[in-house]
């Protein structure tokens, strides 16, 4: 279950399987990293520095900015980055904003 607060790590295959469901995959790398290393299919890029603001946006504003429906506080969300440090921070931010 993704509802554990202890930053569960996912394997590539687990993430692939999860993406067949309606999980929202947020890549918190910087835009230059996406340009340099490539976008992960079916993910949206919200750099870590924008995440807190993004998760508090009006849903219409979120959709306009990120071209994706804003997650509700109970929707399954996966965060990824390059090495795992920023995605753990992202999880902490989301949890502090009331996301389960």
Is 37 a residue whose pLDDT tops 80?
Answer: yes
Alpha helices, DSSP H only, in the chain?
12-18, 31-37, 48-54, 59-66, 85-96
CATH number of 22-97: 3.40.250.10
Mean per-residue pLDDT, 25-50: 94
Does 3 qualify as catalytic in the annotation? no
Residue 28 backbone phi and psi in degrees, to 5: -95, 15
| Residue 42: per-residue pLDDT | 87
- Domain positions in the chain are 22-97
- Distance (Å, rounded) from C-alpha 12 to C-alpha 64? 29
Which residue is catalytic, options 81, 90, 91, 94?
81
Q: What's the predicted TM-score (pTM) here?
A: 0.84
Residue 16: pLDDT above 60?
Answer: yes
> Residue 57, by phi and psi: left (phi above 0), alpha (psi -120 to 50) or beta?
beta
């Amino acid at each position: 279950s993704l509802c554990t607060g202890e930053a569960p790590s996912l394997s590539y295959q687990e993430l692939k399987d999860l993406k067949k469901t309606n999980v929202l995959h947020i890549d918190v790398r910087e835009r230059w990293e996406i340009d340099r290393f490539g976008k992960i299919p079916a993910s949206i890029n919200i750099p870590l520095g924008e995440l807190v603001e993004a998760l508090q946006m009006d849903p219409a504003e979120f959709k306009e900015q990120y071209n994706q429906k804003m997650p509700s506080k109970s929707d399954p969300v996966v965060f990824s980055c390059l090495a795992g440090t920023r995605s753990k921070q992202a999880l902490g931010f989301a949890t502090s904003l009331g996301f389960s």
